[in-house]
Amino acid sequence: MAYTSIIPVSRLDNSITYIRNKDKTTKKGQSAGSLEEAIDYAMNRDKTERSVFEDAIGCVCETAYQDMVATKKRYHKMDGVQGYHLVQSFVKGEVTPELAHQIGMEMAERLLQGKYEAVITTHLNTEHYHNHIVFNSVSMEDGKKYHSNSRSYYEDVRKASDALCLKYGLSVIEPKNGKGKSYAQWMAEQDGKPTWRTSIRLDIRDAVAESFTWKQFLEQMKQRGYQWKLNRKYIALKAPGMERYIRLRSLGKHYSEESIRQWILQPKSRIPAGKEGDSRFPKKKLKGIQALYYSYLYQMGALKQKPKRISPVLRADIRKLDARIEQMEFLQKHQITTREELLAYRTSLEERVQALTKERKRLYRSEPDSVRIGQITEELKPLRKDIRICIRIEQQSQEMEEKMRLAEQIQRQEEEQTEKNRKPRTESR
């Protein structure tokens, strides 16, 4: 669960020494003294403990204030609200520092769409890890100002924060009474949002594996409790517990009627786990991290040759299945088998991002109307996405290893117990 608040930054001329005083803080709901002090507070190393929990979008952390002011001057918008200071705080024990920061980064990208310079930091100085996102009020792309009000808070800020909490299995805030709602509860009440889609895709895969015709597939889905709307331009279905129908094609291009019909016709021994016709699981022997992901996906039942029973330890991760498959594909696409190779690839991406950011910063100051600025912005998007995937693989592969070890340990204990239970029967005979 994450609590959010957004604070307007109204002045530029206040001394930054005030906010650096550890005995003083900005009260919730008040305006921060200045854009400069808001940035300085967010980047306070005494609170972040490690510089690794600092990031920036559209600027460089060390010169973020100057970059934001330069944007204002370029569009002649030095008056009014200077920026916004968004705080996102998590419940004690729900997140690691790394996950908190990852959510903060994704929060900034969802909310600002790469249009506003922003500094994102994660503070670890309290029991509740929390993110600070300080961003410019003036867009670096078109000079338009960001406007914050109660409507934008609930429709943009709160909505984005809740969606990310759900994505990573955290609880969300119930709008009416403020109580947290578990991921499972929320999923059972939603109407076709991404959390449902993972379960629906899994059911479709299983139904296809047991069908040889389109009619058999529809029947298999009906046996699983699904309802269909077939006589329409876009076929729609409704899962058990859902209130509304969703279009089949909204699950992704590989889940359209045409794709599923082709999928059904494939020999069952060749049916892939998610996308037909891909080479996600090659015949050659896998090594390192790729082998870990393959084993994990096998144990999760994502492969056709799935185990008889999914371990309870891994079953809780079912909501993360699509993300794991994406990570597996990423590793194979870039031929990464070790953590050292992953780190090297991530480093090369970060160096490229830094170079492009510096180039764009120079252009903002010397050639603000340059077409190259927009090109750089587009080039940065996939690079930053790949960096995020690298970070998630670094963190989550270790969690997967631990869960796999625990699942194997539980399986051995169950097998030993089963063997013990058999012996007395044998002796009695």
Mark whether 260 and 295 lie in a shared domain. Answer: no
* 60 and 131 together in one domain: yes
Q: For 122, which DSSP code?
A: E
428 assigned to some structural domain: no
Q: Are residues 121 and 199 in the same domain?
A: no
Q: What is the 3-state secondary structure (H, E, C) of 254-269?
A: HHCHHHHHHHHHCCHH
Of the candidates 156, 172, 187, which is a domain's last residue? 187
Is 395 among the domain residues? yes
Spatial CB neighbours of 247, under 8 Å, sequence gap ≥ 6 = 234, 235, 236
- Residue 92 is encoded by which pair of tokens? 């004690």
Where is the domain boundary, 224, 249, 278? Answer: 278
Token code pair at residue 370: 């340059």
The whole domain housing 370 covers 279-422
| Cα separation, 138 vs 406, whole angstroms | 50
Same domain, 48 and 137: yes
* Rg of the chain on CA atoms, in Å: 25
Q: Does residue 429 form part of some domain?
A: no
Give yes or no for a contact between 42 and 87, defined as CB atoms under 8 angstroms apart.
no
d(CA 215, CA 412): 42
Residues 89 and 45 in one domain: yes
Cα 427 to chain center, whole Å? 56
Q: Is residue 103 part of a domain?
A: yes
Number of C-alpha atoms within 13 angstroms, CB side, residue 302? 26
**Residue 422 CA: distances (Å) to CA of 408, 411, 417, 428:** 21, 17, 9, 10
Per the domain annotation, does 171 fall within a domain?
A: yes
Sequential pLDDT tens for the chain (429 residues): 465 766 676 553 342 233 233 333 233 333 444 566 566 655 554 444 443 477 888 887 777 888 888 898 999 988 878 888 888 888 777 788 888 888 999 999 999 988 999 988 888 777 778 888 889 999 998 899 987 776 667 678 888 888 888 788 776 544 444 344 433 333 444 333 445 676 788 788 878 887 878 888 898 899 888 899 998 888 999 888 777 888 888 887 778 888 888 888 765 543 344 443 334 444 445 667 877 877 777 666 655 454 445 555 555 566 566 677 788 888 888 888 888 999 999 999 999 999 999 999 899 889 988 899 889 989 998 999 899 899 989 888 888 888 778 877 877 887 787 777 776 655 555
DSSP label of 113: T
Taking the mean position of all CA atoms in its chain, how far away is CA 182?
Answer: 18
Domain end call among 131, 165, 187: 187
Are 239 and 181 found together in one domain?
A: no
Same domain, 16 and 95: yes
The domain total for the chain is: 3
Contact 339, 291 (CB under 8 A): no
| 171 and 303 inside one domain | no
* Stated pTM of the model: 0.40
- Whether residues 160 and 307 fall in one domain: no
**Do 176 and 189 form a contact (C-beta atoms < 8 A)?**
no
Six-digit token string for 207: 């139904």
**Residue 157 shares a structural domain with residue 232:** no
Number of separate helices (H) and strands (E) present in the chain: 16, 10
